Structure 1
Amino acid sequence: MATQLKESGPLPRVAPENYLSREFARAENEHLWGKVWLIAGREEELKNVGDFLTFNVATESIVVARGKEGYVAYHNVCPHRGRRLADGCGRASQFRCKYHGWTFNLEGKNVQVQDRDDWDGALDDERLDLWPVRVDTWGGFVWINMDMEGESLAEYLEAIPEFLDPFELHEMRFRWKAELHLPVNWKVALEAFMEGYHVAATHPQLLTVAGNDYTQSFAQGKHAHFGYWKDVQPLGTSSPRLASNDQTDARAGVVEFFRQIEEDLNAIQTDRDFEAAKKIMDILPEGTDAMTAMVTAMELGREAALADGTQYPEKLTFEAMAKAGSDWHIFPNCVTLPYYDGAIWYRARPDSSDPENPDKCLFEVWSLKRYGPGKEPEVQTRVIKDPVNESLCLILDQDIANMAQVQAGMKSSKFKYARPNPVQEVELINFHRTLERYVLGQSRG
């Protein structure tokens, strides 16, 4: 059931130790990452038998592969001396340890021990196979869980499929991928995308075309979402925060909205949507209201997708989109903003090269898009190790610019706790309450 968490009594607070403490990071590694369902990758990365990828989080490494009977996942460690078996991604018919040659098939069975007779038969009573990891799929993503007991993925996702299945995320493919190495806690990075409260100050250029940017947010079990449900004002018009609406032509405001999202973010809406939106300047008369202009632009985007051989999500009605809202936090480490034609997906986790360091993380951004059959591009991950001097795109650069300042500012002797907005930042409040139950055994409240 959705809850807004705005309640009488003390307002919600978040302890800075959740971001800054090595002890808290160590407890996350022990009590969180091995107990939850995590996205390891996309199904499109594992198309054929033998395709594999590795997923590292905290001190653990998991190898996920396409086996003969479906997806399989194992702890990425040789039971002989502990060497990791696989790195990156690729295709293999078996996993062979490069240290001493022990070999395992795609079913995780040991098929080769070099000089096995040296053990004089004692190995027959030892565990030689790879340690399995639970694996499942939803939304076109491959999920893993290192805890062999506990809730299924369907149970873990709770209400998410009810809200997000109409978007047909499984029909989307990578448009681009970026991996950023950031000098901040993984939660600081993720939380930059868990509320819309920051838009007015961080992205002021959006206010001219974002309509009413005031958000409301609600918890959905361990997950949460926000949307623009109060005093809805059409996209393409200026925010009520501005003294005046500089867009005298609603058509131009709608086109400018699509331009900013395409050129300054390159995600959620698509290049196809932007090109289609431009046509409203020709087919709609001057003086057309903003809502008509936006709905027309969206319909033109649908027509363009169909012409490109891409099916549009039939169950994604205006009502279903309004119900879903704009942004979802999927506990613990993902955030998504979906649309008809595309989506942006964020994933954060500790830097596995230094997993107890609360000042380092790996942050990934995935732009997804619907493509016609065989039209999806070959996508390589762009790795950014110096985000201060290497631009990703305007909107994300603005978000990233806040992160290091937040991480540093929380170390001030005067910063005793964060004070999240009890209406617009429920994603963040619910996140920490749930996180603390995993890590500390109970929420700090």
Structure 2
Amino acid sequence: MATNPKPGLPLAKLRAENYISREFAQGENEHLWGKVWLVAGRVEELKEVGDFLTFNVANESIVVARSKDGLVAYHNVCPHRGRRLADGCGRSSQFRCKYHGWTFNLEGKNTQVLDRHDWEGALDDERLDLWPVRVDTWAGFIWICMDPDGESLAEYLETIPEYLDPFELEEMRFRWKVELHLPVNWKVALEAFMEGYHVAATHPQLIKVAGNDYTQSYAQGKHAHFGYWKDVQPLGTSSPRLAGNVYSDAREGVIEFFRQIEEDLNAIQTDRDFEAAKKIMDVLPPDVDAMTAMGTAIELGRQAAIEDGTNYPERLTFEALAKAGSDWHIFPNCVTLPYFDGALWYRARPDSLDPSNPDKCVFEIWSLKRYGPGKEPKIETRLITDPVNESVGLILDQDIANMTEVQAGMKSSKFAYARPNPVQEMEIINFHKTLERYVLGQSRG
């Protein structure tokens, strides 16, 4: 039997066509990707003059490089016959078209047209330089925007820096990177990480040690976040959904929490945190309460970070941590879960080889960690094209397993729209309201 929603919480209806319609995907390509700020990479990837990376989204390709004056970005296309100039990442003092040799320096200026005299001066009034793209940085990420007249990155991010700057994400470095090519819409992939409502059913092992798994979520302009703000329980204790605490010894519950996050996720908290947490068995008595056990584990992790040559961020107090919550959706295509010592970052986008196909996407997962000077590892992106047979880790495998079933289920003749939870899935509701304003000119409401 249908029930009325609580007062003030009207039923949100997210149309299936937002996920499965080729027309909607084409609308995103035309009206979304070229109008927003997008993460192209990390500043650490472009350390030296000449370092470059390419970022492809929908029908566009952008090359970002470090010139002698700082970061620059251009549309990755030769004005002669349209060939893309760069691919992947590397280091070069110039961009030379491999088709006919037209060449451009790091400032985007055309420096060579082979046999230019053949045009007999007809090229003199033509624009032969690369088309610039706006580029900026925040939190250690390189951001690009193809709209020359759009808002600044600071304006676009709205209140996000207020909440996330204390984490000092710019001080973190890649721990590992995974790129998955999935047969699902980019939003289906991203939304698997935009709410905590799924944890009890998808990750039942987590609710034994993750405290109260009930979340609340809030819109923050075009962005949104969720957290565990109601009836807070210490990590290391069991969810109220269970009959009682699985671990009678609070120390064991805390250590098991860190073990699961380290071994089954390998992100957010770090290997350093896990090793430090194990020490509470030696420094705390068996009858210690869970709050003290978790607080001690965090402090031991901070001490381990200092010994390793890095620091926990000074502004990230427990009050700032609580204010930020656990998870942020950064419109349109990124999600992050930050912590003292590390962070998890997701980026989703259409597959640029078939950008109007709503059943294909590229989904990237980045684990970040604070490292002492010179201790960060050299990272290669792990490419996964068969997620059924290639594991990312237990927790992420559980999330990925839902995606193809969701994409298939949305094509049912009986599925007209999704009905997201108005308390715990506001990130998704706000996402589609904002997305529809870009793609359709107005939210469907």
Shorter-chain TM-score: what band? over 0.9
C-alpha deviation, 1:405, in angstroms: 0.1
1:290 matched residue in structure 2: 290
Match of 2:95 in 1: 95
Which digits, 9 at most, give the CA deviation of each residue in 1:29-82, with x for residues without a partner? 000000000000000000000000000000000000001101000000000000
2:123 corresponds to which residue?
123
Q: Are 1:206 and 2:199 an aligned pair?
A: no
- List per-residue Cα deviations over 1:280-321 (Å, max 9, x = no partner): 000000100000000000000000000000021000000000
Give the CA deviation at 1:249: 0.1
**Which one-letter code corresponds to 1:277 in the other structure?**
A
2:354 aligned with 1:376: no
Conservation of the 8 A alpha-carbon contact between 1:6 and 1:422 = no
- Work out the CA distance in 1 between the residues paired with 2:22 and 2:387: 24
Amino acid at match of 2:180: L
Deviation string 1:162-210 (CA, Å, 9 cap, x unpaired) is 0000000000000000000000000000000000000000000001101
Q: CA deviation at 1:364?
A: 0.1
Distance 1:290 1:32 in 2: 46
Give the distance between the partners of 1:405 and 1:351, measured in 2 at CA.
19
Residues 369-401 of structure 1, C-alpha deviations (whole Å, 9 max, x = no match): 000000000000000000011111000000000
Structure 2: gaps of 5 or more residues: none
In the alignment, which residue of structure 1 is the partner of 2:337? 337
d(CA) in 2 for partners of 1:438, 1:351: 20
Q: CA deviation at 1:432?
A: 0.1
**Residue 145 of structure 1 pairs with residue 145 of structure 2:** yes
Is 1:424 aligned to residue 415 of structure 2? no
Match of 2:66, SS state, is strand
Match of 2:32 in 1: 32
CA distance, structure 2, for counterparts of residue 245 and residue 99 of structure 1: 66
Q: How far apart, CA to CA, are the structure 1 residues paired with 2:398 and 2:275?
A: 25
Residue 65 (structure 1) aligned with residue 65 (structure 2) = yes
Q: 2:395 maps to which residue? A: 395
Deviation at 1:8? 3.5
Residue 18 of structure 1 aligns with an amino acid whose one-letter code is N
Corresponding position of 2:186 = 186
Map Cα deviations across residues 303-343 of structure 1 (whole Å, 9 max, x no partner).
Answer: 00000000210000000000000000000000000000000
Partner AA of 1:210 in structure 2: A
Contact 1:224–1:430 (CA under 8 A) maintained in structure 2: yes
Query: Which residue does the alignment assign to 1:411?
Result: 411
Please state if 1:302 is matched with 2:302.
yes
Aligned to 2:314: 314
Alignment of 1:233-382 (within 5 A): 233-382=233-382
Moved over 6 A (4+): none
Q: In 2, Cα distance between the equivalents of 1:22 and 1:53? A: 29
Preserved contact between residue 17 and residue 24 of structure 1 (Cα < 8 Å): yes
Work out the number of aligned pairs and report it.
441
Matched position secondary structure for 2:437: helix
Q: Which residue of 2 aligns with 1:14?
A: 14
Do residues 436 (structure 1) and 436 (structure 2) align? Answer: yes
1:222 deviation in Å? Answer: 0.2
Please list, as runs of the form range in 1=range in 2, the aligned pairs for 1:38-77 lying within 5 A after superposition.
38-77=38-77
Counterpart contact for 2:101–2:114, Cα < 8 Å: yes
Secondary structure of 1:242's match? coil
Q: Distance in 2 between matches of 1:181 and 1:147?
A: 27
Helix, strand or coil at the partner of 2:237: coil
**Match of 2:440, as an amino acid?**
L
Aligned partners of 2:395 and 2:148: how far apart in 1? 40
Q: How much has 1:404 moved relative to structure 2?
A: 0.1
| Distance of 1:312 and 1:444 partners within structure 2 | 44
**Counterpart-to-counterpart distance in 2, 1:99 and 1:394:** 45
Read off the aligned partner of 1:284 and give its amino acid letter.
Answer: L
SS at structure 1 position matched to 2:142: strand
- Per the TM alignment, residue 150 of structure 1 is displaced from its structure 2 partner at its CA by 1.6
- Structure 1 gap segments, 5+ residues each: none
Q: CA RMSD in A?
A: 0.9
The TM-score normalised by the length of structure 2 is: 0.98
Partner of 1:160: 160
Alpha-carbon distance between aligned partners in 2 of 1:7 and 1:73, rounded to the nearest angstrom: 48
| Cα distance, 1:9–1:240 mapped onto 2, change above 3 Å | closer
TM-score calculated relative to the size of structure 1: 0.98
Question: SS of the residue aligned with 1:175?
Answer: strand
Deviation at 1:441, TM superposition (A): 0.1
Question: Is residue 37–residue 153 contact of structure 2 (8 Å, CA) maintained in 1?
Answer: yes
SS at 1:122's partner residue? coil
Using the alignment, how far apart are the partners of 1:388 and 1:244 within structure 2? 34
Asked if the contact 1:341/1:369 (under 8 Å) is kept, the reply is yes
Structure 2 Cα separation of the partners of residues 8 and 64 of structure 1: 46
Per the alignment, residue 133 of structure 1 pairs with 133
Contact 1:391 1:397 in 2 (8 A): yes
Mapped contact 1:184–1:358 kept (Cα < 8 A): yes
Question: Which residue identity lines up with residue 199 of structure 1 in the other structure?
Answer: V
Give the match's secondary structure for 1:329.
strand
Q: Percent of pairs identical after alignment?
A: 83
Distance 2:13 2:182 in 1: 25
Structure 1 SS opposite 2:124: helix
SS of the residue corresponding to residue 204 of structure 1 reads: coil
Partner of 2:200: helix, strand, or coil? helix
For 1:227 and 1:79, locate their aligned partners in 2 and report how far apart those are by CA, in whole Å: 48
Counterparts of 2:269 and 2:254, CA distance in 1 = 13
